[in-house]
Structure 1
Amino acid sequence: MIRWIVSSAIFAIYLLELSSGFKEHEFKKCKDTGFCRRHRTKSGPKFDVLHETASVSGHELRATLRNMDAGKTFNLIVRAHSSGTIRLLLDEDLDPSVTNGTRYRISPEDSVTLPSFETTVTPWKTISKTTKDIVVVSGDVQVTLTFAAFKMLVVVKGKPALSLNSKGLFDMEHFRLKEEGVECDGCWSETFLQFTDSKPHGPEAMSLDIAFPGFEHVYGLPEHATSFALKPTVGGEPYRLYNLDVFEYLDSSPFGLYGSIPMMVAHKVGLTIGVFWLNAAEMFVDVSKEGSNTATQWIAESGIVDLFIFTGPGPAEVQQQYAEVTGPTAMPQQFSVGYHQCRWNYKDEADVHLVDSGFDEHEIPYDVIWLDIEHTNGKRYLTWDSHLFPKPIELQNDVASRGRETVTIVDPHVKRDHSYYIFQEAQSEGYFVKNPQGGDFEGWCWPGSSSYLDVTNPTVRAWWAQQFALDKYQGSTEHLYIWNDMNEPSVFNGPEITMQKDLIHHGNVEHRDVHNLYGLFYHMGTAEGLTLRGYQTHGEDGDRPFVLSRAFFSGTQRVGPIWTGDNTADWKHLAVSIPMLLSLGVTGLPFSGADVGGFFGNPDAELITRWNQLGTYYPFFRGHAHLETQRREPWLFGEPATSRIRAAIRERYALMPYIYTLFRHANISGQPIMRPLWFEFPDAKELFHVEDSFLLGSAILVSPVLQQGVDNVDLVLPKGARWFNAHSGEETQGAGKPVKTKVDMESIPVYYKGGSIVPRRERPRRSTRMQMKDPFTLIVALDGNWSAAGDLYLDDGRSFAFLRGQYTHREFKFEGLKLRSAVHNSGSAVVTSVGSWAPAQDLEVERVVFLGLPKTGKGYTARMPDGTEVSLEAGAASTKFSQAENAWVLRQPKLGVDADWVVELVAHK
């Protein structure tokens, strides 16, 4: 009993410290980290390529690299791939007398990269070889490997794209025996606050010197609450990639947050490239600017150099090349693209029913209600508090009767309680992470004393997946989905609120090697559990999993969505959500969002309204709040705020066909949902720094209001396109620079790009499931040539039947005053057959709105597929477009969604 009281007191202290907000001194900076101190901005030892070893065999350029100071050798391999990706591998040529182990390497078996990528190799052609260098080429990519000192230059279509070790900062520490009396900063042991890392393998760090000639802007390296275009860091703190539970994080900081993707995208006029270092250890990245050039230094604590260079040459090609390596985005359930309502915590079943009915009472659509940790029996996950939630199955079925789903939280810490079946079985099977002495690691989190599943072990992940079967997870139904929180992993009494690095995982791998992978592995195991459950309950076509994760790494996009963690209800956090989500999008993780309204604090009516107006266009749209905040369901702010929030959420549902189609493109080719302006206008230099506006797909530009009490915004509409106000239909010319534009509280500036066709569903419904039989409206926004194109993807919104062709994907084109519908050609090897989803045969286009048609004195007539003619109405497509001078509406055309047809417009002069 005394031990329990003491432990509970310690736990209470941790909770008190966490609740008081971000404590900078509890987290490391470069100066507190030996490997970063040893390498940052310091020239490494001289490395030479032994020229006699450099040779080309098929798709591989091989050579031996020597540390000329230490006499140690490393194996260098440069591979060419058919998509234009270059892969560079550097591993140590180990001396058995020094170590009987190997450096940790992430392999395809770890499910980060796709095994299929290994088969995409293509031959190098040797252009020349001298005693100075070797030059090889593959397609549009040329690589020059300089021997002394080691340097590698990549040229794409004749343009210098990337230089490795041009500043001489490359270093790769070799394995060694500990020598008494030899100084080595933080190599063999390191202490931070009260925590000591034993570092049994000694120094293993690497420094990569990567320069981007002619590139003024680089992007990526999520997750950081800072600008989209990465700022210079030399003289300040470098960007850090180390997954941590950062309570109430700061904006405008390079500090690493909950997830890590070690990928950077460089963009300039005429060329986009990307670099991705497949390494899950702690990493620091410096950025420096020298005129029109950008230089970077990447420092990782352990592992090997496994560097992918994506040579584009455009933004879309870089995204597709990255997706070829780590996979495209999983096709989500349609409900998950709707609005989610979450709070820590909805306190009991009556509370859930009250919130659920409140949405219907106020005619606001939503799809998912969430339950946080208080729904469990004493923080034992996969259980229910029998007093607060005595009838969980009835609750879920009642919510589902209105087309909605329920989500419960499941975290990776397992309460150490021998009466808890999860702990008892996992302990008996040896499934927990081990301490250096070989026993189960014990840390503290929400339940108190906890152990953590070693999800790096495929056997443990498979066991964990089985726990989500309906007969295992008592009280669950097929309408219950999962939220993985705290999976960085969060350990309240650990260094930096996480695991110490010398803990041991499957295969005798240290935690330092796999830290940034842990959250992904836990996410994978949970999603696999819902997938298995889906096949058990739905049969052949199963049920796509929905699992939200806080921690992430490369490959997370194949598993499920993430969100940006514990933000705050203030205007700065509203604004920084845009660059955070753009960074995730261009590094291959597009299904992401920020807590609408801010997790901490209490937004006023203006802030919550503006945040919902922006959240409408987030890929993942969820309102969420801390336990100690005031209740903030959308109707609690009174009028006119409730009406404005209702309009914003309804707009999300009207755009569901367009957004779901964007997810299909992400599923096929890895394209981001939320895009920087330069993604679609890659040669417009004036857009390279813009981060307060963005594109949703290619067709919709969003310019949110990010400041309190303003009546205008600086609107940036790119030149070279026509732009149509999505609320009024009026055309505005793109200036390519900020233009003062009036705003009111009813909406934020949103524009259709000329040349786009956007499918919508305009009828208000309570959820996405209730929309499934609704007809469509097509917005046809014409470019300067009076043409436009778009597409519409449909499936059952739930199962894996789309993988066997049960889907409908149509493309729409408007040219020469003719609107056509035909089967969409994806142009991707991922889609192997043209699909047909039978229910689409009963769906129709009920209205077509044309924006930007040539002026005509007597209007237009539409010649329908059956030869009949229908007059178009001028102006009012809906009340929104009543002021549009060149808006014309075709009503009730009864055009089949799943049919080929042509509608011809005839102008009457």
Structure 2
Amino acid sequence: MRVLTLLGIAASLALVPDALAVKEKDFKTCSQSGFCRRGRALAARAKEASSWNSPYSVDASSVAISPDQASVTAGVKSLLYPEVKFELELRVHDDGVVRVRMDEVGGLKKRYDEASSWALIAEPVVSKTVQWTAAKDCIRAVYGPKKELEVVVSYEPLRVALLRNGKAQVQLNGHGLLHMEHFRTKEERKIEETSQEEEQVVLDTTNPRAWFEGDSEDGWWDEKFGGHTDTKPKGPESLSLDISFPFHPVVYGIPQHATTLALPTTLGDDATYTDPFRLHNADVFEYLASSPMSLYGSIPVMYAHSEESTVGVFNAVASETWIDIWHAKPQSSDTHWMSESGILDVFLLPGPTPADVFAQYGRLTGTAAMPAQWSLGYHQCRWNYVSSDDVRMVSRKMDEHDMPMDVIWLDIEYSEEHKYFIWDHKTFPDPVDMTKDVAAVGRKMVVIIDPHLKRTSNYPVYQEATERGLTVRKPNGQDEYEGWCWAGSSSWLDCFNPGSWKWYQDLYLLDRKREDGGWTWAESTEDVHIWNDMNEPAIFNGPEITMPKDMVHYGGWEHRDVHNINGMLFTNQTWQALKARSTPAKRPFVLTRSFYAGSQRWGAMWTGDNLGTWEHMAVGLKMVLANSIGGMPFAGSDVGGFFGNPEPEMLVRWYQLGAFNPFFRAHAHIDTKRREPYLLDEPYRQMLKDILRLRYAQLPIWYTAFHQSAVTGVPILRPHWVMFPKDVNGFALDDQFFVGDSGLLVKPITTPETTEASVYLPAEDQIYYNYFTHLAYRSSKKGKTVTVPAALSEIPLLIRGGSIVPTRERPRRSAPLMKHDPFTLRVALDKAGAAAGTLYLDDGETYAFEQGDFVYRDLAAETKSKVLRISSRDLAASPRLLQVGREVSLDVYSPGNAYAKEIAGVRVERVVVLGAGKPKKVTLGDGGRELVWEFVPGVAAGGKKEGTASVLTIKDPKALIVEDWDIVITL
């Protein structure tokens, strides 16, 4: 959140529908950003030139291959600036990823080169099997299991290409747009005011240097915007690079933007947008529902896709970045990345499948942390619950209406004068008792902690931070930076300073005193978790509502160098603090608004201050999908919209969508009407109750999907192209998705007055079942669109044939209370009478799973010789775990582990088989105890008819979850 005006910090504003629009004048366009103007102008001149080659080339005499073949380095020179030296380095990792680095050597200053150190989980392991060779005109390496991959570095001009089977997959500098602006001295010049309020100097346009860099010193040393002057003591230092995917027509990624999943073009006659996509973390108040404008987070990863393969690039740069997209040829995707500062540090992900690129990116930046199970339940929030009694009332009302909920949230008004960590005792006189009352019914609290520190002598957190020199500095490197945020006059903790890390973590200590005698948050418990908002950072009186770029962080780096990483570091420290406060450690929950590559290691994100409109509901889904494939799968949008008062129909549809987001939270602005789900009139209240119960019944599906994502990097919400990479009909599909590998296909309704939905079934010969009615649909090898009923009380939800879906159907008030509940298995047979699924369980709270305390079951169904056999086997003891498992090693796992013993009595209470024939006998095991069953005839999975499928219900087989078993159905 942010205030509309500086004077409005303490006041809320009436919501006038016509006024609900982003103030675009608060944020730059490319034409208002000096380095983006320069980058685009270079691209335009290169395109218009009759012949154009990049001025950068490799000095063949400088090529050096390390003795262990781990890397190759070479000097790079510019024909226009022969006195400026650069060095290129390439490495091939053991999983085939290629790292390309280039930096200025011996320059007047040092470029920021630490972005990858924050993003990567470790220094990647370099391949020991790659053999580099140097020729007269290039360097190359051939590698891969079948020697199918090749990296070629062409000397003149400098180009880097990654090939598979001789076909280019990714190419750097193919269009000749590489430009690393070298450091230089500020010379005497004629000042000339322009319409852009820029300082420019006319240069000699006959000089090729001037042609290449432009005919004026356009924003080199300072530039103005919105009444602010950005001084640039280091001068121009931007980095431009074109990255092409010659045979991949679709690109995805670079979240966060409110746009379609398949990224639209920004150049060309058919361009969707006139501005490039921007990565510059910003508090964009009431953002547009379709725009390349930067939002709260930035992940510089992009995937390119075709029927043949999927490849990707991760560009480890932390400064403001603009990205143009166009298609030079119908089957190619071309991009131009323009960053304000930093070195060239690009990782080429060779794929060739979606699962491969996600794993490759996950090995670089990490996969999502395994969450606490309760955090996958329903979260209730608004700005603000006004008192301790208000919190207790919300918890009580949810129980009175039999609506499950796991978390109640508190926004900024819980704190005294917005001094975070300190409760306002006028309205929250008993915060610990309040938290204990909520925890007594199995629930948690989440409260907000923002990074701005109120500058006042009666705020010990600020006093300690400033005394220790832990805040961001002004350009002189000495004086403390002061800005305005919710707390009024504020300073900002500099999380780049190692001295801030333990100090900040110690603030959260509960029953232990700090060794240095400093202040700790005494009025807290282990049941209080944290929401990090405003961490872009949002600064009300700053340029573009954020920190001036010339402020200084630890190490002397300007804020311009590290801006997009800033929010991630604050969340990292919050996560570490929550983990350290408990012995043994419990899994923290931290929600962040600002994020960068690697933020997935520390919690969840949400799509920010959305509007209560159908358009924002629809684009919120696309944004969550984009973040999911961007490596940050624990994502969601505020249910109901942060602004506005949605009518009941919209609210019901939004809850249906929210129930199929990994992060499921309702949130609302302080000026909105109260809209807790129990406040709606019937029949809407019952609809919301049913939706909440559906989410809780499906928690085993979500938890298993989170586990799979944690060990493989594959997203939890999977767009069509991820599941069916060869189905061209689904490459741009972003209004329906699959949940993990559960087989659930979801098509949320995001339009008003809708009673049916068109659902695209993949290009395969497969049967799909309606989750609720069991109506069977059949796809085709060319793909097929079917019409699914979607009355307001219905959500189009299908089960793909061949899936086994585990649920827990007992209504409970919160997730922890479901720990010993029995399971229902839905077995959706495919045409061959087979199905498969997995179920992962652990205690949902501690890190005991890392020591082997978990249950991981392989569920299967197979039909042979008129016998349908449904089985459960220990997946952790099978070779399949070795292919994906990185959480535990098999030497610490035992089928009789402590957690397995704890849930030893948990059973399967019902098995529902869709598409089977009528049985003659059903037994537990071969010749074992006969089971009770019911059969409703209908369409069989192995036929060709559509209609209501047959349903076989096996009642309480008493098959234990932790044991191997077979249910044998004689047909």
- Residue 15 of structure 1: CA displacement? 7.0
Establish whether residue 646 from structure 1 lines up as the match of residue 689 from structure 2: yes
Which residue is 1:4 aligned to? Answer: none
**Whole-angstrom distance in 1 between the partners of 2:541 and 2:933:** 69
Following the alignment from structure 2 to structure 1, what is the Cα–Cα distance between the partners of residues 307 and 662?
Answer: 28
Q: Does the Cα contact within 8 Å between 2:265 and 2:326 map onto a contact in 1?
A: yes
Cα deviations across residues 849-894 of structure 1 (Å, max 9, x unaligned)?
11122x34x55523436722325321399xxxxx943221211111
Partner of 1:828: 884
What CA deviation, in whole Å up to 9, does each residue of 1:592-621 have, x standing for no partner?
000001000010000000010111110000
* Partner AA of 1:76 in structure 2: L
Does 2:58 correspond to 1:49? Answer: yes
Q: CA deviation at 1:353?
A: 1.4
**CA drift at 1:904:** 2.1
Match of residue 106 from structure 2: 94
Following the alignment from structure 1 to structure 2, what is the Cα–Cα distance between the partners of residues 864 and 627?
A: 59
Quote the residue 1:480 is aligned against. 528
Give percent identity, aligned residues only.
41
SS, match of residue 308 in structure 1? strand
Whether 1:598 aligns to 2:630 is no
- Residue among 472, 480, 484 paired with 1:440: 480
SS of 1:842's equivalent?
Answer: coil
Q: Is the 8 A contact 1:379 1:415 kept in 2?
A: yes
User: Could you tell which deviates more after superposition, 813-822 or 306-315?
Assistant: 813-822
Structure 2 Cα separation of the partners of residues 167 and 222 of structure 1:
24
Distance in 1, Cα, partners of 2:339 & 2:572: 25
1:162 aligns with 2:170: yes
Say if 1:287 and 1:737 are closer, same or farther in 2 by CA, change over 3 A.
farther
Tell me which residue corresponds to 1:851: 914
One-letter identity of the residue aligned with 2:907: E
Q: What whole-Å deviation, never above 9, does each CA across 1:349-392 have from its counterpart, x for those lacking one?
A: 12111111111111110100000001111100001111100011
How far 1:304 moved relative to its partner?
A: 0.6
- Please tell me whether the aligned partners of residues 98 and 347 of structure 2 are also in contact (alpha carbons under 8 angstroms): yes
Q: What is the DSSP-based 3-state SS (H/G/I as helix, E as strand, rest coil) of the residue aligned with 2:389?
A: helix
Task: Give the Cα–Cα distance (whole angstroms) in 2 for the partners of residues 565 and 663 of structure 1.
Answer: 22
Deviation at 1:579, TM superposition (A): 1.1
**1:809 matched to 2:843:** no
| Matching of residues 387-426 of structure 1 within 5 Å | 387-426=426-465
Of residues 468, 485, 491, the one that matches 2:508 is 468
User: 1:112, CA displacement in angstroms?
Assistant: 1.9
Distance in 1 (alpha carbons) for counterparts of 2:550 and 2:13: 25
In structure 1, what is the Cα distance between the partners aligned to 2:785 and 2:911?
Answer: 32
Cα distance 1:906–1:463, how it changes in 2: closer, same or farther (>3 A)?
Answer: same
Give the deviation of 1:165 after TM superposition: 1.1
Residue 372 in structure 1 maps to residue 411 in structure 2: yes
Normalising by structure 2, what TM-score? 0.88
Selected match of 1:583 from 623, 626, 637: 626
1:890 maps to which residue?
954
Tell me the amino acid that sits aligned with residue 275 of structure 1: V
When structure 1 is superposed on structure 2, of 814-823 and 708-717 the one drifting more is 814-823
Q: 1:791–1:811: 8 Å Cα contact kept in structure 2?
A: yes
Residue matched to 2:928: 867
Q: Deviations over 1:414-460 (max 9, x none)?
A: 00011111011111111110011321100000010000000111221
- Asked if the contact 2:924/2:957 (under 8 Å) is kept, the reply is no
2: CA distance, partners of 1:385 / 1:321? 47
In the alignment, the residues of structure 1 paired with residue 528 and residue 96 of structure 2 have an alpha-carbon distance, to the nearest angstrom, of 42
TM-score (norm 1): 0.94
Change (3 A) 1:45 1:269: closer
Kindly indicate whether the alpha-carbon contact (under 8 Å) linking 2:13 and 2:671 is maintained by their aligned counterparts in 1. no
Q: Deviations over 1:320-349 (max 9, x none)?
A: 111100011101001100000000000111
Q: Which residue of 2 aligns with 1:880?
A: none
Structure 1 residues 876 and 390, CA gap change in structure 2 (3 angstroms): farther
Partner in structure 2 of residue 511 of structure 1:
559
CA displacement at 1:118 relative to structure 2: 2.4
Determine if contact 2:91/2:126 at 8 Å carries over to the other structure. no
Is 2:376 the counterpart of 1:313?
A: no
Match in the other structure for 2:540: 492
Partner of 1:563: 606
CA contact under 8 A between 1:197 and 1:501: conserved in structure 2?
yes
> Match for 2:217 among 173, 177, 184?
184
Could you tell me which of 117, 121, 125 is aligned with 1:114?
121
**2:757 corresponds to which residue?**
713
Alignment match, 2:491: 451
1: distance between equivalents of 2:833 and 2:500?
Answer: 58
CA distance in 2, matches of 1:612, 1:658: 18
Render the CA deviation track for 1:458-481: whole Å, top value 9, x for unaligned: 221221111011252122111111
**Offset from partner CA, 1:177-208 (integer Å, 9 cap, x none):** 11223641111111112111111111111111
CA distance in 1, matches of 2:854, 2:862: 26
In the alignment of these two chains, the number of paired residues is 882
Judge conservation of contact 1:461–1:522 (CA < 8 Å) in 2.
Answer: no
Alpha-carbon distance, 1:153 to partner: 1.6
- Is the contact made by 2:924 and 2:965 (CA closer than 8 Å) also made in structure 1? no
Aligned 1:65-104 pairs, distance under 5 A: 65-71=76-82, 72-95=84-107, 98-99=108-109, 102-104=110-112
Which of 746, 758, 781 lines up with 1:702 in the alignment?
A: 746
- Tell me the secondary structure at the aligned position of residue 477 of structure 1: coil
Structure 1 CA distance for aligned equivalents of residues 732 and 128 of structure 2: 36
Is 1:231 the counterpart of 2:264? The answer is: yes
Deviations 1:87-112 (A, max 9, x none): 111111124xx33xx2111266x442
Whole-angstrom distance in 2 between the partners of 1:591 and 1:876: 40
SS across alignment from 2:817: helix
> Is 1:528–2:576 an aligned residue pair?
yes
Q: Which residue of 1 is the match for residue 283 of structure 2?
A: 245
DSSP-derived class of the 1:105 partner: coil
Task: Report if the CA contact (8 A) 2:12-2:671 is conserved.
Answer: no
Q: What SS is found at the alignment partner of 1:88? A: strand
Moved more, 555-564 or 665-674: 665-674
Match of 2:818 in 1: 771
Superimposed CA distance per residue, residues 729-759 of structure 1 (whole angstroms, 9 cap, x where no aligned partner): 2211125243333321111100111111111
Structure-2 separation of matches of 1:123 and 1:65? 26
SS at match of 1:344: coil
> What do residues 273-319 of structure 1 show as CA deviations (whole Å, max 9, x unaligned)?
11111111000000002311110000100011110111111111111
Letter of the 1:832 partner, please give it.
Answer: S
Q: Choose from 800, 819, 842 the match for 2:870.
A: 819
Structure 1 spans left out of the alignment, 5+ residues:
1-7, 878-882
Work out the CA distance in 1 between the residues paired with 2:89 and 2:451: 38
**Stretch deviating more after TM superposition (790-799 or 489-498):** 790-799
SS in 1 for 2:582: helix
1:57-68 counterparts in 2 under 5 A? 57=66, 58-68=69-79
Corresponding position of 1:741:
788
The residue identity in structure 2 corresponding to 1:808 is: V
